[in-house]
Structure 1
Amino acid sequence: MNQFVIETRSMSKRFGNITALDNLNIQIKRGEFVAFMGASGSGKTTLLNILTCLDVPTEGQVILDGVDAGSLDEDSQRQFRANKVGLIFQQFHLIPYLNVLENIMLAQHYHSVVDEVAAREVLDRVGMSHRVTHLPKQLSGGEQQRVCIARALVNEPPIIFADEPTGNLDEENERLVLALLKDLNRAGRTIIMVTHNPDLGRQTDRIITLQHGRIIKEEQICA
């Protein structure tokens, strides 16, 4: 088995005359916790979209869990995301008219499996078993983010991408969400986190800093 769960090889992305990503060579090991950092416009979102098969590079290769992402058609990309990737968003993206349990089971539906027991178990893991019948509007920001983490986990993906997961949270909920991500990493999942927060970045194994679509710094964080 390849030790790298994510690898980009001379990967670039252009939009017309604008180069969003420029010749990136990235290797992320299985079980690593990595932060992508950089100012707005540095290419973090474009990189995340490519690594989650929501977009494709203009040049170069992207190897995800041993699969050349460039060889996947649209249906195969959707299947890859369903089987391999969990997504955690800053804006939560919960369905407002579905309760907590239904939001989790909807994620299972896209995976062609509906298992209420498994949905309840994953909510218990993030400390939200007492909120299963609540609507998103009845939850605090921190509670909504924990539901988002449960949604990302319910299909047991090996790779979790977290896009500014604490950006809308207060300090206490930021701490709780980071603790959940670190627990998931200790359990063997690869975590990729996009963040502007240097304090959060230093809680990971490695920081990759982007500027104008290029990697300008890689920093290994000592425990």
Structure 2
Amino acid sequence: MSDYAIQTIGLCKHFDQVKALDDINIAIKYGEFVSIMGSSGSGKTTLMNILSCLDTATAGQVYLDGQDAAGLDEDGRRAFRAEKIGLLFQQFHLIPYLTALENVMLAQHYHSVTDKEAAAAVLEQVGLGHRIDHLPNQLSGGEQQRVCIARALVNECPIIFADEPTGNLDEKNEQIVLEIFQKLHAQDRTIIMVTHNPDLGKYTDRIIRLQHGKYVGEEVLNEVA
């Protein structure tokens, strides 16, 4: 098996004449916590969408957990996401008429098996065991984001993608979310966080930098064996 949870070779994404990504070659090890950084328009969200099987590349190869994602059709990508990928966004995307517990169980439904006790346990893990019966509008922004983290964790997916996960949070809740990521990292989860905030990058093992759709370098903060 490859040492890499994620690897891209010559990855390109074009929108008509716009090169959103141009010849991206990166490799992310299992258990690594990596931030992808760049200014607005650098291509970081486009890259995350391709790596998480939400979109496809125009050219190049993408290997996820040893599988060639470029060879997957839409159904294959959907199945791969359900089995391998946990997704976390800046916008919470919670169903407003479902409780915190039900929102987490919805992710299990797409995985074909629901387990109320497992959903409650993962909410407890993110500090929301006392809020499982609350609707999203009864939760603070930080609590809603923790429900989203629980939703991303409940199927025990080995790879977690987070796109600006603290963008809508105050400093206190940002710290809570980062502490949860640190605990997940200690459990050898592979985490890829897209952010434009340099302070968040300091919490990761490595910072990959993009500019105008191109890889422009990286900074290793903690070497992963």
TM norm structure 2: 0.98
- 1:110-189 equivalences under 5 Å are 110-189=110-189
Match of 1:94 in 2: 94
Distance (Å, rounded) in 2 between the aligned partners of 1:222 and 1:153: 24
C-alpha distance in 2 between matches for 1:222 and 1:161:
19
1:104 paired residue number: 104
- What residue ranges of structure 1 are gaps of 5+ in the alignment? none
Residue-by-residue CA offset, 1:82-115 (whole Å, 9 max, x unaligned) = 0000001111110001011110111100000010
Does residue 50 of structure 2 align to residue 50 of structure 1? yes
CA distance in 2, matches of 1:45, 1:195: 9
Aligned amino acid, residue 24 of structure 1: I
Query: Identity, % of aligned pairs?
Result: 66
Question: What is the CA–CA distance in structure 1 between the aligned matches of 2:210 and 2:170, rounded to whole Å?
Answer: 26
Please tell me whether the aligned partners of residues 201 and 207 of structure 2 are also in contact (alpha carbons under 8 angstroms).
Answer: yes
TM, length-normalised to structure 1: 0.99
In structure 2, distance between residues paired with 1:69 and 1:174? 32
Name the structure 1 match of 2:72. 72
Equivalents in 2 of 1:190, 1:222: separation in Å?
A: 14
CA contact (8 A) 2:204 2:222 kept: no
Q: Aligned equivalents of 2:39 and 2:71: distance in 1?
A: 31
What amino acid maps onto 2:202 in structure 1? R
Query: Residue 196 of structure 1: CA displacement?
Result: 1.1
Q: Which residue of 1 aligns with 2:82?
A: 82
Runs of 4+ in structure 1 off by over 3 angstroms are none
Tell me the number of residue pairs that the alignment of Structure 1 and Structure 2 aligns: 223
Aligned-CA RMSD value: 0.8
Question: How big is the shift at 1:73?
Answer: 1.1
